[in-house]
């Protein structure tokens, strides 16, 4: 199928981590070079489905913007914008919310997983979050959406909503396809059975894009491996070492087999430091660019505003047509 429009979103969690970079942002950069109509949204409306602090959120939006630009997202090649500045997202979201039945949302894995962890009931916003995601995608009549494996179920909902809308109102939305990122999940450095995550309470588990070389060395030194000293790639039985190999391959651009071949005779303790060095080298220019961009808040705000104006130009007519179809 022809790629006509690519859309993806990322929550403004502040400075992203190595998993976000290798699993999402790096492929976003490739996609903007390959395709002519690409939109990337900082999805701040999604952020308030979890408890948020206004000052922290405001800063996190700017930090994420700085990081995306530093990683190579280029506003000349893709539209980078702030979701809440394009009010059509919430309008379409409401219309779609009225087309989905409660159990469809209650059965989604992420809702179940997130509410299982909480002491209190989840908010209605957390429940309907995937419908807002559907609105994000459909508002631009997107044909392709780069996502991680954990989002496949939500993409099925997006597709069902597109089909459901088309059945009721006539062919209108393309049914968008997922572009699965080739990178398997980067694992926690402390627990290779878990993914590297921003919300991990163990600060040694996650590498941030602005971590200093000293911090990176410390985190890799403390990374959990096993009692075999040889470097092999076997994610099922040797999660920790395999995570090192996967990270090493990803930051050097070499195939996994080549990375393993070059590590022959090196024990895992030394290997972890080699991987740390490769990560430091990969992140050095990104880190310094983020620090530079962060100093010019006005510039970051301007980039987001300009992107949001462009996004709005695409969103407005689609939303108008939807409203007419619905009978408004």
CA dihedral 277, 29, 299, 84 (to 10 degrees): -120
Q: Name the minimum Å distance from CB 129 to ligand ADP.
A: 12
Q: Given candidates 4, 77, 104, 184, which one binds Na ion under the rule CB under 5 A? A: 77
Residue whose C-alpha is closest to residue 5's, from 32, 26, 43, 23: 32
Tokens 């040797």 — which residue? 238
| Structural contact between residues 244 and 196, judged by C-beta atoms closer than 8 angstroms | no
Nearer to ligand ADP, 135 or 322 (CB): 135
Q: Does 178 interact with Na ion (rule: CB under 5 A)?
A: no
Residues that bind ligand ADP in the complex, under the rule CB under 6 A: 10-11, 13, 17, 19-20, 23-24, 148, 150, 183, 185-186, 195-199
- Tell me the closest approach of the beta carbon of residue 135 to Na ion, in angstroms: 23
> Which does residue 68 bind out of ligand ADP, Na ion, none, counting CB within 5 to 8 angstroms by kind?
none
Is the Cβ–Cβ distance between 10 and 27 less than 8 Å? no
Q: Which of 188, 178, 252 is nearest to 225 (CA)?
A: 188
Between 195 and 282, name the residue whose CB sits nearer to ligand ADP: 195
CB 166 within 8 A of CB 173: yes
- Residue closest to Na ion when measured from CB atoms: 77
Residue 17 Cβ vs ligand ADP, minimum distance, rounded to whole Å: 6
Token pair 């699993």 is found at 23
Tokens read off for 98? 């009225």
Closer residue to Na ion (CB): 77 or 198: 77
Total site size for Na ion, rule CB under 5 A: 3
Question: For residues 318 and 71, what is the distance between their CA atoms, to the nearest angstrom?
Answer: 31
195 belongs to the catalytic site: yes
The alpha carbon torsion through 236, 237, 240, 242 (nearest 10 deg) reads -60
Catalytic residue among 195, 219, 272, 294: 195
Q: What is the dihedral of CA 187, 191, 196, 200, to 10 degrees?
A: 170
Active site residue 114: yes
Secondary structure of the chain: what % helix, strand, coil (to 5)? 60, 10, 35
**Beta carbon of residue 10, minimum distance to Na ion (angstroms, whole number):** 17
The answer to whether 197 touches 16, Cβ cutoff 8 Å, is no
CB of 188 closer than 8 Å to CB of 179: no
Report, in Å, the least distance between residue 267 CB and ligand ADP. Answer: 26
Residue 83 lies near Na ion (rule: CB under 5 A) = no
Closest CB 249 distance from Na ion, rounded Å: 27
Q: Which of 4, 77, 184, 198 is catalytic?
A: 198
Output b/e per residue, 171-207; b: 16+ Cβ within 10 A.
eebbebebeebebbbbbbbbebeebbbeebeeebbbb
Strand partners, 39: 7, 79
Q: Is 177 left (phi over 0), alpha (psi -120 to 50) or beta?
A: beta
Confirm whether 294 is a catalytic residue.
Answer: no
32 binds Na ion (CB under 5 A): yes
Active-site position among 4, 77, 114, 297? 114
Catalytic residues: 114, 195, 198
Binding site for Na ion (CB under 5 A): 32, 38, 77
């Amino acid at each position: 199928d022809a790629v006509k429009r690519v859309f993806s979103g990322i929550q403004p969690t502040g400075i992203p981590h190595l998993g976000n970079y290798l699993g999402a942002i790096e492929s976003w950069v490739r996609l903007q070079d390959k395709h002519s109509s690409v939109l990337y949204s900082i999805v701040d409306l999604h952020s308030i489905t979890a408890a948020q602090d206004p000052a922290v959120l405001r800063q996190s939006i700017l930090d994420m913007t700085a990081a995306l630009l530093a990683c190579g997202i280029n506003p000349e090649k893709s539209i980078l914008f702030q979701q809440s500045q394009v009010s059509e997202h919430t309008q379409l979201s409401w219309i779609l919310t009225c087309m989905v039945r409660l159990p469809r949302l209650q059965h989604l894995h992420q809702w179940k997983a997130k509410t299982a962890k909480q002491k209190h009931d989840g908010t209605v916003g957390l429940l309907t979050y995937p419908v807002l995601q559907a609105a994000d995608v459909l508002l631009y009549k997107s044909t392709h959406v780069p996502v991680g494996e954990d989002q496949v179920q939500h993409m099925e909902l997006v597709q069902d909503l597109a089909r459901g809308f088309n059945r009721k109102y006539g062919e209108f939305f393309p049914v968008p396809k997922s572009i699965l990122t080739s990178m398997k999940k980067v694992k926690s450095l402390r627990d290779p059975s878990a993914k590297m995550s921003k919300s991990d309470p163990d600060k040694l588990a996650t590498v941030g894009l602005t971590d200093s070389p000293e911090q990176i060395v410390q985190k890799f030194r403390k990374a959990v491996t096993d009692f075999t000293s040889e470097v092999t790639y076997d994610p099922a039985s040797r999660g920790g070492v395999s995570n090192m190999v996967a990270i090493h391959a990803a930051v050097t651009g070499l195939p996994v087999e080549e990375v393993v071949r070059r590590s022959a005779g090196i024990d895992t303790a030394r290997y972890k430091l080699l991987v740390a060095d490769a990560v430091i080298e990969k992140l050095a220019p990104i880190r310094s660019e983020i620090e530079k961009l962060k100093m010019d808040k006005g510039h970051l705000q301007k980039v987001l505003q300009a992107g949001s104006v462009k996004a709005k130009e695409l969103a407005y007519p689609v939303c108008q047509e939807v409203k007419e179809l619905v009978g408004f």
